[in-house]
Amino acid sequence: MSLEAGDLVVVVGATVTSDGSTERHRILANVVDVGKADVFVREEGFNGRTFKISAERCAKVEEIVANPLAKVLTPRLGDLVMSVSERLGKVERKMGVLVEISDMPGRSRMARLLQGEKTEVAAFDSLIVLE
């Protein structure tokens, strides 16, 4: 892979512990200059810093035509939806038909999902439409 100044890259790193577990780290950066095997990159963001790193630790991000102003599809009653939320470090998934939307003043909107013969409650803002 050939990198050039101005390319957008994902820079990868890792933390390895004595028990053998590995935690991956990733940041977005722009290539500033390219050397034989290393590159200077500037981290994305207002306070981004410039640093050198092996080009082998960089993955080029191809330009993707995306609409940065696209809105999330608002679920409606009868839609098949999925809720994904995190609680105590665990990811919780719920799926079902949206049968009730509760919008009480001063509180978060809640949704009731029908899953077969039982129902589950989820935060309305955690829903995406499946069908």
Q: Residue 40 and residue 29: Cα distance in Å, rounded? A: 10
Residues of the chain with pLDDT under 70: 1
C-alpha dihedral (26, 123, 121, 114), degrees to nearest 10 = -90
